[in-house]
Chains A and B, each alone.
Chain A
Amino acid sequence: MSTATARPKRRIRLDSTVIVYLALIVVIIIGAILVNTAGRNFFSLGSIRGILTGMSVLGLVAVGQTLVILAGSLDLSVPYVISLASLLAAETMRGNPNNMAQGVLLALAFAAVAGLANGLVVTKLKVHGFIATLGVGLIIKGYLDTNYQGSAGKVPAAFQFIGATGLGPVPISTIIMLALATLVYLFLKKTRTGHHIYAVGGSLEVSRLSGLRTARPIIVAHVICSVMAGLAGLLLASRLGVGSPTVGSQGGYDLLSIAAVVLGGTILAGGRGSIWGTIGGVAIFAVLDSVMSAIQFNPFLKDVVRGVVIVAAVAIYTGRRVERRRARFATKETAR
């Protein structure tokens, strides 16, 4: 009898985060070859700096988006939160360094309120995150369209400095993004609310029956996500020097961040995934962008490449998840 029970049934599975980084390495190798063939150096300081800079804004948004998706929701309002945050900051600062703190606080406070609205609509009105955040996003968009014709306000030089400097090849903005990602990682790992974000995303019913207050983790995830989007707006304002009503939607940060999260191995339905996977996903996008610019790839085909990468990644993950049972025999003729 013991022979049957002792059979090892757990095989060593590659963690999906590991796969993301393996994929990143593959993308880097192929990219380096392509760029070198085009007569440029992929590993030049400028190129590395470009990739890291490309990671910062999307990274901020995607880290927040990860939380929301883990909790079983979705945030489509991020582009508009980004735009309005950039405008609120730039208009409050009006080029005066003394107003910097006020501008930052106002922008983040607005973002937090937007996130709270998202979270409350999702949890109290029981509207799915897709629709809830689309609605909140459209409300903000309506406000933007009515009140702004173009960029407005001005940030002081000191504020522009944040987006422009770095330690060696590493931009400050990327360091900020990675520091926040680490914080969010610890939040997920080491706090009850973090654990419960996974729980409610995994199963609302199981969480409820286990006595969780299921609304709280979802609301917290939405607030953090919006605040991260607000930070992304501040960073963009620092780069542009002004606030812009279209900076968020032009960047396509809603769908791009969701794509990065999914590329990073987080399940769209919630309950499973990781921050570091998301960062890997963001890095893959940044490397792809950099490579495609370096080899002067047709800009209109860039999205085709991104699309192919996302679909391929999800197909691979899905295939891995279906493969639940362990094969006992080789599938081809030579089994015996």
Chain B
Amino acid sequence: MSAPILEARDVSKSFFGVEVLHGISVQVTPGSVHGLVGENGAGKSTLMKIFAGVYQRDAGTVLFDGNEVDFTHPIKAMQAGLATVFQEFNLLPERTVAENVFLGREPRKGGFVDNGGMAKATGALLNELGIDSIDPNARVASLSVAEQQIVEITKALSFDARVISMDEPTAALADHEVELLHGIIERLKARGVAIVYVSHRLKEVFDLCDTVTVLKDGALVWTGPTGQLTPDSLVRMMVGRSISTFFPGAFEGTTVGETRLKVTGGGNGYVDGIDLDLRSGEIVGVAGLQGAGRTELAEAIFGAAPFTRGTMALDGEPLDVHSTQKAVKSGLALITEDRTAQGLALHQSVLDNTLLVIRGVFASRTRQVRREVPGILSSLEISFRGLDQEVQFLSGGNQQKVVLTKWLATKPRVVILDEPTRGIDVGAKVAVYSLMRELAKEGVAILMVSSELPEVIGMSDRILVMHDGRITAELEPGSSEETILSAATGTISGPLEEVA
């Protein structure tokens, strides 16, 4: 094994007197992928940000290429060759790919910015990553999430980075995009670049990482070669639980009953030919690639971008949802995929957020619901300082619990969840899963859109697969990832005939 390119020795960090990292020591070797795993709040991001120069450590040393370093600003780490791809992209959507890659270091010719040369250099960097589908002159806003991530990696490469840290790079990617990213990582490895890889997806850790460091509650639990781990042992180290408890089965007393929501021939600009039955007590999973129309389906049912064709019925009654207000009144709820932009008013209190829908749609019930909210919140085991705390200061998992409370307060009959566990820690995930099962037991019909195949497989009583705006397959519970994937990519059709 060659000498480490990046090393942390006894690194500690406190915020406001609370120590969040306790003496972490980690070594990262050139040309390898080092997985950093742990629940949210375990300290992964903090450690990454100390490497990146966003935070300064309180104790311990960081060695980069054998020398002790002390980056006081992210740009200094970048210039030294330690680049970081954060979850929130640092890109300017209105500028071109090339302008983003060379921001602040625009190449000049005779004192003037050499726009042509800049595009050419960007194209060359993209080529090194094996990407030819991205135009250096394209506006970043016109790119998909996966492509934007590639732009970030290209930017890192343009600094001649020798270490690239990635914070949950696949959190928002569909599976074929994940493969593309993994291909890029292989190329980077071959160049001798070291990758620090933060991930929630266990499969990916085993597929990709040469070495793994497990953090829990700010302390180092284990660090070593991936070969010495099994999925079970890894999960146990992360959460002190085994993987089988991850997805709760249907609760006792759950019965799948009558059809609650029926969609016949639904379609609009984004989806078409939607025939759908949701029965009470049933959890139906929707799988598909990014852009297959899953979110659009959820929005169509909920009236956010209503169907323009076809009919819907709720509990046998015709249902015409032309606005979200009508949807809520009828007993529908939609937990959106983008929590911070669509689910919460970040600068408002927990209480105000939980009452948002009630105040808007059932104002007369506000007083009553206000009394119920603390109970719902505590049943979800939310941890927060108080009802008046602004939700922006909560962790992702707790924010999601606020969103769920907001919708539970409306006593919905049909709940649609779009990526319900995106970016939340394992503990909060389990809480969300249990809640879904509890709702099913109470007779609620549940539609869950998810990019996490294990989640779809583990939670669904029935699996629908979407491709190109249509439902192309309906699969049994417990179908394999391969079956779902091939239906999602359109290579095979399930029992449903693909609509021509």
Contacts and interface: CB of A to CB of B under 8 A. Distances in A.
Same complex for A and B? Answer: yes
A198 B293 contact: no
B74 A328 contact: no
Contacts of B104: 196, 199, 207, 210-212
Nearest to B103: A210
B66 interface: no
A124 interface: no
Nearest to B270: A328
A301 interface: no
B436 to A, nearest CB: 28
B309 interface: yes
Given A10-B138, A329-B469, A330-B269, A3 B112 contact: no
9 contacts: A1-B489, A1-B491, A190-B115, A195-B103, A198-B95, A210-B103, A271-B95, A329-B269, A331-B269
Interface in B260-280: 267-273
Given A329-B271, A332-B308, A191 B113 contact: yes
A308 interface: no
Q: How large is the interface on B (under 10, 10 to 19, 20 to 34, 35 or more residues)?
A: 35 or more
Contacts of A7: 291, 468
Interface of B: 73-75, 78-79, 90-95, 99, 103-106, 108, 112-113, 115, 138, 142, 144, 176, 267-273, 289, 291, 293, 296, 308-309, 467-469, 488-491
Interface of A: 1, 3-5, 7, 9-10, 189-192, 194-196, 198-199, 202-203, 205-207, 209-212, 267, 271-272, 325, 327-333, 335-336
A253 B489 CA distance: 57
B75 A199 contact: no
Contact of A211 (B73, B92, B469): B73
Contacts of A199: 92, 95, 99, 103-104
Nearest to A203: B92
Nearest to A11: B142
A71 to B, nearest CB: 13
Given A3-B490, A202-B94, A209-B75, 7 more contacts: A1-B491, A190-B115, A191-B113, A195-B106, A199-B95, A327-B269, A328-B293
Given A9-B144, A192-B113, A328 B469 contact: yes
Nearest to B293: A328
Contacts of B467: 4
A3 to B, nearest CB: 6
A335 B490 contact: no
B176 A202 contact: no
Nearest to B140: A202
A336 B271 CA distance: 12
A327 B268 CA distance: 8
Nearest to B91: A206
A227 B73 CA distance: 35
Contact of A4 (B75, B106, B490): B490
Contacts of A327: 269-270
A189 B106 CA distance: 11
Contact of B272 (A206, A207, A325, A335): A335
A191 B112 CA distance: 5
B489 A3 contact: yes
A46 B138 CA distance: 44
A19 to B, nearest CB: 16
B468 A212 contact: no
B489 A202 contact: no
Given A195-B106, A210-B104, A333-B309, A4 B289 contact: yes
B272 A202 contact: no
Contacts of B273: 336
Contact of B99 (A9, A195, A209, A331): A195
A189 B112 CA distance: 9
Contact of B94 (A194, A198, A212): A198
A210 B490 CA distance: 41
